[in-house]
Structure 1
Amino acid sequence: MAKQASTSTHEITCRLPRSRSSVPRARAMLHAVLSEWNIGQDVLEAAELLLSELVTNALRVPVPSGRQVGVRIAQSQLDGILRMEVSDAGPGRPEVRAPADDEAGGRGLLLVEALSHRWGVEERANGIGKTVWAELKAPDIITEPLTKEIAAAAVRPGQTVKSWGEWHTVLDVTTEQPSTPTAAVILTLDEGPPLRVRATEPLAVRQGDDGVRGMPENCP
C-alpha cells in the first residue's frame, strides 16, 4: 500500500512489470497523483518526461527473472520538492553519456540532468540493485502546516512543536512532580536547549493528515 512518510510528505509507491506498457502506466499514475496534489502544468510535464526516462532505463537493465520495477513518487510540502524514484534489481550504476550525433539512443540521462533540480543513484536497502531518483522544484505544493494546540503534558516524542518561533521535533519528554498542580514538562528538542513549560500550558503541534491516500502496491 502507499504510505505517508511524515506529517509534511506524501508518497505513492508501486511495482510495475518489466514490459513496455509500464512506461505509459507510470505516466498515467503520475498524472493522476500530481493532479490530486494540485501540481502546476509545467512541473507535471517535466515530471512525466523524467519518470518516463527513469522507467525506460530501468526496463533496459538485465535482471534476474521475475523482478519488477519499483516506483516511488513523493512530495515535500515544507521544501516544495517533488521526488521520483525508480528501483531495479540490476547491477551497475547509470552514467551520463555524450553520444555521437549519429547514435539513436544514450541521451536519457542527459535529459534527466537537464530537467531535474538534482538527481542521483543510491544502493537499495536490501543490497540488491539500485534506485535512481530525480527531484523537481514544485512551489505549488508548499503549504502552511495545519496545527492544533494541546497541553504540554500530552506532547509525545516524535511530534513537532512550535517554540521560539520555529518548529522543532520532540526527542524526549520528562514530567517533573506529575502529581502537583505546578507540574512542569521538559521537552528535549532536536535543536537548542530543552524547553521547560507548565504541564497545562498549550503548545502548537503540527497536525498530520487523517488517514493515508494512495494507490495499491501494484499499479493499475
Structure 2
Amino acid sequence: MPTCRLLRLEVSDAGDGCPEIQRPAAEDTHGRGLQIVDALTHNWGVSPRPGGIGKTVWADLKAPELVPVPRTREAAAVTVTKGQSVRVGEQWRAVRSVATERYATGGLAVVLGLDEGPPLRLPAATALAVRGWDEVREAER
C-alpha cells in the first residue's frame, strides 16, 4: 500500500482580511479560487505572517510516495567525488572510486569506477550531469 505524505503550498500577501470561500453566480468571472483549493486539497487554512503584516494561505496536498528528486548539476569530471552519481547515456551510475592519470599528450584524465560496467575514462574538463553534490559536500563538513 503506497504511503502518502503531504506537500504544502503557501501564498502570502500583506493584505488585511481573511479569505473566504465565495459562491459566485455562473456568469461571474472571479471568486472561484478557494473553491478549487478546497476541492483539490487535503486541508487548507490561513495563518498570520510573522511581524503581523498580512497573511499566508496554505494548502496541503496528499502526495503518494513523495520522494524528493536529487538535484542534478553539471560539473567537470575532475570535480566528481566518490558517493555521487553520474549520468552515463540514459542511466545514472554511482561513483565507487575516482582516480586521475596523465594522457601521453600531457592532459589530465579522470577515471571513474562505477557501480556497473567498466570504468569511465574522461578528459578532466568533460562536463557531466552529477547527482548527490550537496550530500557529499555536507558530509565533508
Normalized against structure 1, the TM-score is what?
0.31
> Which protein has the larger Cα radius of gyration, Structure 1 or Structure 2?
2
More strand by share: 2
More helix by share: 1
Normalized against structure 2, the TM-score is what?
0.46
